[in-house]
Amino acid sequence: MITLTVLPHPQLCPEGARFEVSSGTTLCDALLAQHIEIEHACEKVAACSTCHVYVRAGASSLNEPDEEEEDQLDDAWGVQPASRLACCARLGDADVTVELPLHTRNLARE
């Protein structure tokens, strides 16, 4: 088990959170299991960028992003070098800290 830390987000996780997660779990599944309602408009198949997160610590323990994830990140709001899609990023063997962006680009809603 590793520790996943979520930095405070005004709507989704105002107090922040810290919890234990099994290695191999995606960030999206881990967040949803803790009732942190991250958007996932494509139902977690890497076909949108609504589950975009910033990995603030522990990024080296996540799986490497593939070409499909990198292509979808091109459409995400506020992409940074630390950006990942939560549906694609699988937890490895070290603790991870994530920040949820203040905005998402959900084309299905726009």
* pLDDT 10s digits, 76-88: 889 999 999 999 9
- Pairwise CA distance, residues 45 & 33, whole Å: 17
* pLDDT 10s digits, 2-51: 999 999 999 999 999 999 999 999 999 999 999 999 988 888 888 889 99
pLDDT of residue 45: 84
pLDDT of residue 108: 43
Q: How far is CA 106 from CA 38, 39, 40, 48, 86, in A?
A: 12, 9, 9, 8, 15
